[in-house]
Structure 1
């Protein structure tokens, strides 16, 4: 399958929303991770799309800012969405690898995710990296995991990871 990865652009917004609705359905808005996205803009410099040669949306990956327990800003991957009839053709894996490279290049010490262990473990995501971190709600049947670029960037932390809402009090 031929496709091109590129930065998400404003004109992709409607197609991405449609794709995410198709991939996850309306129940996605009831999941714990949705509160990290609801009313919060994604980290736009870390959002990517997979496009066909004709410019059609095939897949998307976004990253969202989160407030870490030490008061710093972290980043959470998700959602990763690929058209259902194109799953298994490498689009999602290419988007994840590209997104991980982008977050590393942006200077983040690591990445958080709530996702399928079997899918994300080959990229280096591990539960033990976030063993002392909590999210404000259940993630089952998925798994809370982290990927560290810098040693102990996540595993040294302890406490609640919260949605990142910019306020005057936050200095991140």
Structure 2
């Protein structure tokens, strides 16, 4: 189990996400990205899959940050992780919580044998962690993304050298939802489409 306290960020604990965190995580993601988050291209890589790694930041019993990474193929036969979403509660922004989650998740990815991480996000923010758009030029996503926001990081030097092809999901399938969960998910997608229109 991962459990890291950070004295520099008073009362903040980083730990592995548990099933008890799901509702708070989803509320945080809705607040940070809105319902249209379910329509993003990266969602196609997450849908129906379990994350490879999932960390949360907790302060005084409240979830204030989340980051998840998903198993993908960066072209044929080239395993990687897709990072996202990373979100921090408005009450904890500008306190370094996102940076702590990034460093912890990348460190965990490296020590568990992962060699490369991809993401779609704000280049100036993620470049401070070593991400670069240059590493993804030979790759494409299963939907539209702004090219300059499609970034890669090699945890092992050369892991993305010559990578070409479609990024596709490879992670373990999530357990099948019951009918009520499927109906709720369909209703959430419809609401997201209406809100985005």
Give the CA deviation at 1:142: 6.5
Unaligned residue ranges in structure 1 (runs of 5+): 168-172
Q: Give the number of the structure whose residues are more often helix, by fraction.
A: 2
1:95 equivalenced with 2:101 (yes/no) = yes
Deviation at 1:18, TM superposition (A): 1.0
The answer to whether structure 1 residue 162 and structure 2 residue 171 are counterparts is no
> Using the alignment, how far apart are the partners of 2:78 and 2:135 within structure 1?
17
In structure 1, what is the equivalent of residue 138 of structure 2?
Answer: 132
1:38 to 47, 58, 62: 47
Could you say which structure has the larger radius of gyration? 2
Number of aligned residues: 164
Q: Partner of 1:42: helix, strand, or coil? A: coil
| Match for residue 56 of structure 1 among 50, 62, 72 | 62
Q: TM-score, normalising length from structure 2?
A: 0.78
8 Å CA contact 1:128–1:155 kept in 2: the answer is no
> How many angstroms does 1:40 deviate by?
1.2
How large is the RMSD of aligned CA atoms in angstroms?
1.7
> Which SS does the other structure have where 2:91 is aligned?
helix
Contact map agreement 2:70 2:171 (CA 8 A) in 1: no
Q: Comparing 29-38 with 137-146, which one deviates more in the overlay?
A: 137-146
What is the CA deviation profile of residues 92-140 of structure 1, one whole-angstrom value per residue up to 9, with x for unaligned ones? Answer: 0100000000111111111111110011000000011111111111123
Q: If the length of structure 1 is used for normalisation, what is the TM-score?
A: 0.89
